Amino acid sequence: MHLDILDQYRGGASPVHRLDPRVKLVCTVAFILVAALMPDGAWGGLAALAALWLAAALFSEVPLALLLRRGLVALPFALAALTVLFTVPGEPLVALSLGRLQIAVTDAGAVRFATILLKSWLSVLMAVLLAATTTFPDIVRAMHSLRVPGVLVAIIAFAFRYLFVLGDEALRLLRAREARMAAAPAGGRSGGSIAWRAQVVGQMAGSLFVRSIARSERVYHAMASRGYRGELRWLDPPRAQRWDWAVAGAFLGLLLLIGIVARVV
């Protein structure tokens, strides 16, 4: 049994797949930046960003339904923005009363909430598209090539590799616990008190931590055995072609235009 949530790559040979990973990474980050800077209620700007994403998604030949479904992971996080519905001053739309407390959903609050929701959704969709069309080693190499600090690149690469291993280890621990969750034949309540159960879970987390520490030492030995001397090296991706530069220029230009127009209008 394996944990596979992180493996989002979908093989393919579309123009988007073949694009230089650095171009894709820069374009994705720029897209997210422009989306984040959209003013409240800039529906036109958001629509333009959505169109840009749609164009990229169509070129990638990855099924749209798949991308949209993966994009939904953003929604629960957007709930954190729920409070702006009530806290932004404006005309009340709906008034709620909780006991003696009066709260109202304001029009400005509703606009801001909808904007935040769309922004975060679009940002996640773009990241999902990047992950679906670029292998993780390529993303890591692109980060290194773009001078992202080495420690950060290494942490991201190792997290990607070992989250699977840790996830599998956690699954095994959980299964070992389940295998011993039994009831006495005479009946009676099984499972123990809440405090006892919490203790069991705490011990499992501790055990996972201790195993991870031990593993990190073995991994370090394996790295040292193969010539690691404190500095990780990566092969650079091949040189970007004229086509890559053209795509990067066009995409970033469009983003800039959308960003400026949305601010001015």
List interacting residues with another protein (CB under 8 A).
2, 7, 135-137, 140, 157-158, 160-162, 164-165, 215, 218-219, 221-229, 233-236
CB of 62 to another protein, least distance (A): 18
- 68 or 223: CB nearest another protein: 223
CB of 74 to another protein, least distance (A): 24
CB of 224 to another protein, least distance (A): 6
- 86 or 164: CB nearest another protein: 164
- 2 or 189: CB nearest another protein: 2
Contact predicate 119/49, CB 8 Å: no
DSSP code for 128: H
- 77 or 228: CB nearest another protein: 228
Long-range pairs, 212-221, Cβ under 8 A, ≥24: 212/162, 212/166, 212/169, 215/162, 215/165, 219/162
- 86 or 160: CB nearest another protein: 160
Nearest to 170 by CA among 217, 216, 220, 212: 212
CB of 164 to another protein, least distance (A): 4
d(CA 81, CA 83): 5
* Structure tokens, 90: 């404006």
CB of 220 to another protein, least distance (A): 9
Nearest to 108 by CA among 47, 41, 35, 46: 41
Contact predicate 83/111, CB 8 Å: no
